Amino acid sequence: MTFNMFKNLKVKILFVFLLSPFVFADEPIPIVIDVRTLEEVKTGVIQDAIHIEWTKIEEKITDLNIAKDQKIYLYCRSGNRSGKATAILEKMGFTNAKNVGGIIEAAEKLDKKIVKYSE
């Protein structure tokens, strides 16, 4: 019995190893957008986030030249403005925009650190 379980485990590991290039291939990295004001962002930002104020999201998102099905996570201080920005993106045809709430909650959900902002 122990031998069969070990053999089965080896087969599973081999199976995952062989299929992982196909499963994870071309998976774009999600974009994280901080929609707070510049003054707020200067107090700290989620690692690797892009800063676009929510009132400018419609005009600035096109500068990123991203696909409409790209995963986009938006956050602010409490989740209110990121909710508005998400609605704007959805209206523009973005299908994977998600409001991840306030900065603390978003950092936890995305498993990222809050770091010092640098322009």
31's enclosing H/E stretch is strand 31-34
Question: Is 76 an annotated catalytic residue?
Answer: yes
Report the candidate in 33, 12, 7 with the shortest Cα–Cα distance to residue 100.
Answer: 33
> Which candidate in 35, 76, 89, 107 is catalytic?
76
User: Taking phi first (over 0 means left), then psi (-120 to 50 degrees means alpha), and beta for anything else, what does residue 93 get?
Assistant: left
22: left (phi > 0), else alpha (psi -120 to 50), else beta?
A: alpha
- Active site amino acids: 76
